[in-house]
């Protein structure tokens, strides 16, 4: 496009935005729609430039003049588009804050959000801790033994051929834990989105290498999937911070290059603050595009489970608050390989999610005192100065970042065993085989403890080409399926948490309605529709004496159905929303607003976090500290 033509086009767009008289633009000037397009934490109008992420949709007509693209609208309003992420329908831009309202009125703009900060799931105030003392757990290959991964390795399954993308702070592939570069063929690719330099690959912070070690270390602290391929995209700086737009850029690139590198899993051991529903949050929506593209996304729940000397609920960050993400909390193995003494780590973030009230986490994995590799010159290595290792290259680390990495590695094992599994099936298998932690609330543990042996066993029986309504296992499971881990019999929890509903009883479906079915039937496994985003219809029947009415919602829809004891009580004001009152275990003081988004009470415009009341029966929303 010539400079003159471009100037004419921008002038025409500017005139339309200012006058609002053309039919195509006039239709977009519904003030309510424009208001909903603006995230609540955007800055007040001013001449100051502000950096935003704009989600867009296709034009409503064929004319670029009458239906300008989001990028054209940004430029017409005096802004600058920095990057367009076509695979996720978003762009990042800088423009004056007093032009945000006008941009929201552009017909192709769906949502405008700040380019929020992102950090690794490490928080000095609440949980992720590091030290370089000798390992508190003397058992070699501790993690693989306490999860049952050693049994999978003994069968020759190590994650070979599966690529896990690490969107983190980089990767020191020359670390001794990885063979000091001799096995560099396992690094599928490395790139950096920091400072505009794609060759800035050094892991200055150290977090990405720690996460990689949990997956692929080949030292005495063996990783879960020691033969998986890793693809590192650096989005975090030397202090562990980054921007949402860089993470979105990484997801956009991974979707584009999925087949080239056989990217089957994305590990996101990072988090952004939650200021809006996952249905509009730009990072959550980018993740949804990745899952819809067939990539399993594993996210750390976060380390905001404790504050002000008490357990906190509602601390799940973005994008772990999206139902499509496999959200992993941390368990404390108590420095033993047996699992009967395991518990939820004190720092692990609990559900429900802010705004939407989704039941999270999905499951737990070990996250306390894990022996992991770190670059000797990284920021995290320098934080530990007491009794260092001889080369300072190892840390005992705690945090949900590393719990998520263990689950990502487990997914690689499952996909080596059964390559045809899709993200929906992977999540179902992980949850179904997890071990329930006794006397622990579902909002703390999800489906329970990661069971690698059970997950790969169930994956080996899975028929990826089964018809809807047919048994999807090659052979039936016993009524009480178990695994033997570290000398203990581990009972599978057989619980599925889907779209916020925790379910462990049989669920049947109406074939004529072509619905997504969640549950177990006659011991023959999980009935699943094979896949992607489908519709859930809960028919009128009883589960454990609880009557469920007919409800329609999709797996990523705005309504949320809760299970026993975690169902929101109180009023609701919008369509496609569900509210029940069952018992004293109900959560309370939640309210549904803006098309079914669930949020706690607002204090000075800030979403609040929930905590249990004095008798432990309800969650009360309180100001976030």
2 among known catalytic residues: no
Query: How wide is the angle at C-alpha 198 spanned by C-alphas 250 and 231, nearest 5°?
Result: 50
| Residue 167 tokens, joined | 């969107």
CA pair distance 254, 262, nearest whole angstrom: 10
For the chain, the first-to-last Cα distance in angstroms comes to 52
C-alpha–C-alpha distance, residues 175 and 182, integer Å:
10
Does 401 participate in catalysis according to the annotation?
yes
SS3 517: coil
Q: Which two tokens stand for residue 99?
A: 């032009």
168 a catalytic residue: yes
Buried b (16+ CB within 10 A) or exposed e, 346-381: ebbbbbbbbbbbbbbbbbbbbbbbbbbbbbbebbbb
Nearest to 430 by CA among 405, 409, 402, 410: 410
CA distances from 255 to 128, 185, 261, 279, 347 (A): 30, 22, 10, 19, 32
Catalytic residue among 207, 289, 322, 441: 207
236 phi/psi in degrees, rounded to 5: -110, 140
Asked if 90 and 281 count as a contact pair (C-beta separation under 8 A), the reply is: no
- Residue whose C-alpha is closest to residue 194's, from 250, 232, 237: 237
**Rounded distance, CA 394 to CA 383, Å?**
12
Residue 371, token pair as written in the block:
């022996």
Cβ within 8 Å of residue 201, ≥6 positions away: 170, 171, 190, 191, 192, 232, 234
Cα–Cα dist 207/271, whole Å = 13
| Number of alpha carbons in the 13 Å side-chain half-sphere of residue 76 | 25
Cis peptide before 267 (omega within 30 of 0): no
Structure token digits, residue 15? 């005139």
Phi, psi of 430 (to 5 degrees): -60, -45
Nearest to 428 by CA among 483, 315, 504, 333: 504
φ and ψ of 449, to 5 deg: -80, 140
Q: Indicate which residue of 168, 362, 436, 594 is catalytic.
A: 168
Let me know: does 544 contact 522? Beta carbons within 8 Å: no
User: Which phi-psi region, left, alpha or beta, contains residue 48 (left: φ > 0; alpha: ψ -120 to 50)?
Assistant: beta
Please give the backbone phi and psi of residue 427, each rounded to the nearest 5 degrees, phi first: -65, -45
Q: What is the CA radius of gyration of the chain?
A: 24
Question: Which region holds residue 206: left if phi is over 0, alpha if psi is between -120 and 50, else beta?
Answer: left
Pairwise CA distance, residues 270 & 279, whole Å? 19
- Options 14, 348, 401, 577, the catalytic residue: 401
Q: Scanning the structure block, which residue is given the tokens 């997914």? A: 411
The helix or strand, by DSSP H or E, that contains position 483, with its residue range, turns out to be: strand 482-485
Question: Strands, E, within 154-262: which ranges?
Answer: 163-168, 187-192, 229-234, 241-243
Catalytic residues: 168, 207, 401
């Amino acid at each position: 496009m010539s400079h003159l033509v471009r100037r004419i086009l921008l002038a025409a767009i500017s005139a339309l935005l200012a006058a609002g008289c053309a039919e195509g633009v006039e239709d977009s000037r519904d003030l309510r729609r424009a208001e909903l397009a603006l995230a609540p934490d955007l800055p007040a109008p001013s001449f100051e430039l502000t950096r935003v992420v704009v989600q867009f949709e296709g034009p409503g007509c064929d004319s670029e003049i009458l239906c300008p693209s989001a990028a054209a609208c940004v430029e017409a309003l005096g802004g600058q588009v920095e990057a367009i992420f076509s695979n996720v329908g978003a762009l990042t831009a800088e423009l004056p804050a007093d032009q945000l309202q006008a941009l929201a009125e552009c017909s192709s703009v769906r949502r405008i959000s700040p380019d929020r900060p992102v950090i690794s799931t490490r928080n000095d105030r609440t949980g992720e801790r590091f030290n370089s003392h000798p390992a508190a757990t003397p058992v070699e290959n501790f993690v693989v033994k306490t999860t049952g991964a050693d049994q999978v390795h003994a069968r020759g399954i190590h994650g070979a051929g599966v690529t896990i993308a690490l969107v983190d702070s980089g990767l020191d592939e020359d670390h001794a834990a990885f063979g000091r570069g001799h096995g560099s063929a396992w690094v599928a690719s490395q790139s950096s989105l920091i400072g505009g330099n794609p060759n800035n690959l050094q892991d200055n912070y150290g977090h990405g290498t720690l996460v990689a070690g949990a997956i692929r270390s080949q030292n005495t602290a063996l990783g879960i999937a020691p033969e998986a391929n890793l693809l590192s995209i650096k989005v975090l700086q030397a202090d562990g911070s980054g921007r949402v737009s860089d993470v979105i850029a990484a997801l956009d690139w991974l979707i584009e290059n999925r087949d080239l590198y056989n990217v089957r899993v994305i590990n996101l051991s990072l988090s952004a603050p939650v200021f809006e529903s996952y249905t509009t949050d730009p990072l959550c929506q980018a993740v949804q595009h990745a899952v819809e593209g067939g990539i399993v996304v594993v996210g750390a729940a976060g380390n905001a489970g404790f504050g002000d000397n008490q357990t906190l609920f509602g601390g799940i960050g973005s994008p772990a608050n999206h139902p499509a993400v496999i959200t992993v909390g941390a368990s404390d193995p108590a420095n033993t390989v047996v699992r009967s003494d395991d518990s939820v780590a004190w720092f692990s973030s609990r559900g429900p999610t802010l705004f939407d009230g989704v039941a999270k986490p999905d499951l737990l994995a070990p996250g306390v005192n894990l022996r992991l590799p770190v670059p000797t010159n990284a920021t995290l290595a320098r934080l530990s100065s007491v009794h260092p290792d001889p080369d300072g290259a190892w840390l005992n680390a705690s945090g949900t970042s590393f719990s998520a990495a263990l689950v990502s590695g487990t997914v690689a094992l499952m996909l080596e065993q059964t390559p045809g599994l899709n993200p929906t099936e992977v999540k179902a298998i992980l949850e179904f085989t997890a071990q329930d932690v006794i006397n622990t609330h579902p909002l703390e543990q999800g489906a329970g403890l990661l069971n690698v042996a059970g997950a790969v066993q169930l994956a080996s029986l899975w028929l990826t080409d089964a018809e809807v309504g047919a048994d999807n296992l090659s052979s039936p499971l016993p009524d009480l399926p178990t695994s033997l881990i570290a000398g203990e019999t581990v009972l599978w929890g057989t619980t599925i948490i889907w779209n916020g509903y925790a379910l462990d009883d049989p669920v049947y479906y109406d074939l004529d309605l072509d619905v997504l079915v969640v549950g177990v039937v006659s011991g023959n496994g999980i009935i699943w529709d094979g896949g992607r985003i489908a519709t859930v219809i809960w028919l009128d029947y009883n589960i454990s004496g609880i009557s469920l009415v007919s409800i329609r919602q999709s797996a990523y829809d705005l309504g949320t159905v809760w299970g026993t004891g975690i169902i929101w009580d109180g009023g609701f004001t919008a369509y496609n929303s569900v509210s029940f009152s069952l018992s004293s275990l109900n959560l309370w003081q939640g309210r549904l607003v803006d098309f079914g988004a669930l949020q706690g009470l607002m204090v000075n415009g800030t979403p609040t976090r929930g905590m249990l009341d004095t008798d432990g029966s309800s969650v009360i929303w309180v100001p976030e500290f």
